[in-house]
């Protein structure tokens, strides 16, 4: 132990509050170190002089009167919820730390349960689109008749809602067929269309999208945004939602689908 470390123990030594082992070590050191011995002796004399002084002063009458008045008012009130919360912690910084940690946990959970699925649903939809349009995933049904595909989907017993299959011929898209799949682990009906310069996929699933990316534009109650060079249009129906995916730019796609481009800020 260095002299500096021994000097950290001066107070406890003077107060007689060192452990027997530390006490023995300090006593031994003082026998061999004149400088520390002198500082320890000085400390002891100073502490005796300090203890002899009276440091406690009486509360001035005026201050006490103010306190009694404030206490009388306080008796009629009860602590607010945040004061109760803060009082649970011995240190205010602990309470703030606890609150901050709580916020971080809530944020992380919200990311896990809300934002992450939103990211995944689009990522999975795009993966599915690429797999289908590149021929890596075969179609379960091959038909150019929307009514036939719709009936096949609804009679399959593999989806938990009554789906629709849109006839997009007026927009220049011919139905090629469809398949049943899973998106975010939920049953999904997928219809595939072909246009003159584009392949379009329509994914339908029960329920609603938990949340949407902040940069999604609302165009006549269709929500549209671009990701990985693809245009994704989200439409909500009463019991299910639908995602259209195309490689056309947003404006071209909206015009082709007959949806006027009116952005709402």
Partner 1 sequence: MHHAEDCGTTPRMGAKETGGTDKHALFAQWALPHKDHIYSACLYLARNKDEAEDLFQETYLRAFRFFHQFQPGTNCRAWLLTIMHNVFKNRYPHVQRAARTLEFEDAEREYERKLLADGEAGRDDPASLLLTQMIDREVTDALQSLPEEYRSTLLLVDIEELSYEEAARVLACPIGTVRSRLSRARRLLQVALSSYAQDHGYGRGEHREEAARAKTGTRL
Residue 35 vs 264, nearer CB to partner 1? 35
Q: Does 53 bind partner 1 (CB under 8 A)?
A: yes
235's CB contacts (< 8 A; 6+ apart) are: 221, 222, 223, 241, 242, 244
- Among residues 21, 32, 59, 229, the one that binds partner 1 under rule CB under 8 A: 59
Q: Does 58 bind partner 1 (CB under 8 A)?
A: yes
Q: Does 25 bind partner 1 (CB under 8 A)?
A: no
Could you give the CA distance from residue 175 to residue 129 in angstroms, rounded to a whole number? Answer: 15
Site string for partner 1, 77-106 (x = CB under 8 A): xxx---x---x--xxxxx------------
- Among residues 24, 27, 42, 110, the one that binds partner 1 under rule CB under 8 A: 42
Task: Count residues binding partner 1 (CB under 8 A).
Answer: 47
**Contact criterion met (CB below 8 Å) for 174 and 212:** no
Could you give the CA distance from residue 132 to residue 243 in angstroms, rounded to a whole number? Answer: 15
Dihedral Cα 163, 165, 171, 175, nearest 10 deg: 150
Question: Counting beta carbons within 10 angstroms of the beta carbon of residue 245, is it exposed (0 to 12), middle (13 to 18) or buried (19 or more)?
Answer: buried
CB of 107 to partner 1, least distance (A): 26
- Among residues 43, 120, 127, 167, the one that binds partner 1 under rule CB under 8 A: 43
Give, to the nearest 10 degrees, the angle between helix 34-52 and helix 20-32: 120
- Among residues 1, 27, 28, 66, the one that binds partner 1 under rule CB under 8 A: 66
Could you give the CA distance from residue 204 to residue 192 in angstroms, rounded to a whole number? Answer: 12
Which positions touch partner 1 (CB under 8 A)?
A: 7-12, 14-17, 35, 38-39, 42-43, 45-53, 55-59, 63-64, 66-67, 70-71, 74-75, 77-79, 83, 87, 90-94
């Amino acid at each position: 132990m260095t002299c500096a470390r021994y000097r950290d123990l001066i107070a406890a030594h003077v107060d007689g509050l060192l452990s027997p082992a530390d006490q023995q070590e300090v006593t031994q050191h003082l026998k061999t170190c004149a400088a520390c011995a002198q500082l320890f002796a000085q400390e002891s004399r100073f502490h005796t002089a300090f203890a002899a002084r009276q440091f406690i002063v009486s509360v001035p009458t005026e201050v006490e009167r103010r306190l009694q008045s404030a206490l009388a008012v306080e008796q009629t009130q009860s602590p607010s919820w945040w004061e109760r919360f803060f009082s649970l912690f011995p240190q205010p910084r602990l309470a703030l730390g606890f609150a901050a940690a709580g916020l971080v946990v809530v944020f992380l959970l919200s990311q896990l349960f809300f934002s992450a699925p939103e990211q995944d649903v689009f990522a999975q939809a795009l993966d599915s689109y690429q797999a289908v349009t590149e021929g890596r995933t075969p179609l379960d049904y091959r038909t150019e008749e929307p009514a036939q595909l719709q009936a096949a989907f609804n009679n399959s017993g593999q989806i938990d809602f009554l789906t629709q299959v849109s006839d997009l011929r007026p927009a220049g898209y011919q139905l090629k067929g469809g398949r049943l799949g899973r998106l975010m682990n939920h049953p999904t009906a997928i219809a595939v269309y072909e246009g003159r310069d584009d392949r379009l996929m329509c994914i339908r699933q029960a329920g609603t999208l938990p949340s949407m990316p902040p940069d999604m534009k609302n165009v006549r109650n269709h929500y549209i945004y671009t990701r990985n060079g693809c245009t994704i249009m989200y439409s909500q129906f009463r019991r299910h939602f639908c995602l259209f995916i195309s490689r056309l730019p947003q404006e071209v796609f909206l015009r082709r689908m007959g949806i006027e481009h009116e952005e709402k800020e």
